[in-house]
Amino acid sequence: MLRKLSVGAIFALAPPLVLFASIHPLLADESAVAKGERTYENYCATCHGEQLISNSAGLTFDPRRLRADEHARFVNSVQNGKNKMPPWKGMLDDIQIEQLWAYIQASISSLTHPTGATPTR
Ligand code: HEC
């Protein structure tokens, strides 16, 4: 019974935590970052490069160029697409998009980014 309750509590808390993490990128929790990385590798890496490292000589946008205050732009572009980027609405839900944001923000901070590569602006 107690176990059931605490699992329910985690689900109830998850969306606000994800939102909170998007406002405070450095507080992004590890599992959201890890899930975002997996989603990125599945859906985004073909165009944006493995582990966010561009493989296309700058032909595609480096998502790390988005600043922390451009969250709304990120969500809009990912949901609706932009020019040659396909829209992801219907493929990815809000939580997955927040996890992608957490992954990208964590990579900007270089804390979890293996190369420590700094994006060019
Ligand atoms: C088919 C190739 C392709 C895939 C797959 C792709 N993108 Fe893109 N993406 C692009 C291109 C091309 C642009 C540049 C659009 C432009 O500005 O003309 C872009 C731009 C962006 C931008 C910047 C948008 C802006 O506001 O300027 C973001 C953020 C982004 N992509 C995130 C993602 C994420 C997250 C995924 C995975 C869910 C993804 N992309 C998958 C091709 C792709």
| Atom number in ligand 1 closest to CA 88 | 38
Q: Check residue 57 and give its pLDDT.
A: 66
Q: Find the mean pLDDT for residues 90-119.
A: 77
Q: Check residue 72 and give its pLDDT.
A: 96
Q: Check residue 114 and give its pLDDT.
A: 47
pLDDT-above-90 percentage for the chain = 40
pLDDT tens-digit map of 43-68: 999 888 888 877 666 677 888 888 88
Pocket of ligand 1 contains residue 36 by CB under 6 Å = no
Could you tell me the pTM of the whole model?
Answer: 0.74
Pocket of ligand 1 contains residue 89 by CB under 6 Å = no
Residue of 101 and 118 predicted with greater confidence:
101
- The CATH number given to 30-112 is 1.10.760.10
Mean pLDDT of the chain: 77
**Ligand 1 centre from 61 Cα, in Å?**
6
**Ligand 1 centre from 66 Cα, in Å?**
11
**Ligand 1 centre from 63 Cα, in Å?**
7
Q: Find the mean pLDDT for residues 7-22.
A: 55
DSSP bridge partners of 85: 82
Q: Find the mean pLDDT for residues 95-108.
A: 92
**Whether the predicted pLDDT of 85 surpasses 90:** yes
SS3 sequence, the chain?
A: CHHHHHHHHHHHHHHHHHHHHHHCHHHCCHHHHHHHHHHHHHHCHHHHCHHHCCCCCCCCCCHHHCCHHHHHHHHHHHHHCECCECCCECCECHHHHHHHHHHHHHHHCCCCCCCCCCCCC
**Whether the predicted pLDDT of 88 surpasses 50:** yes
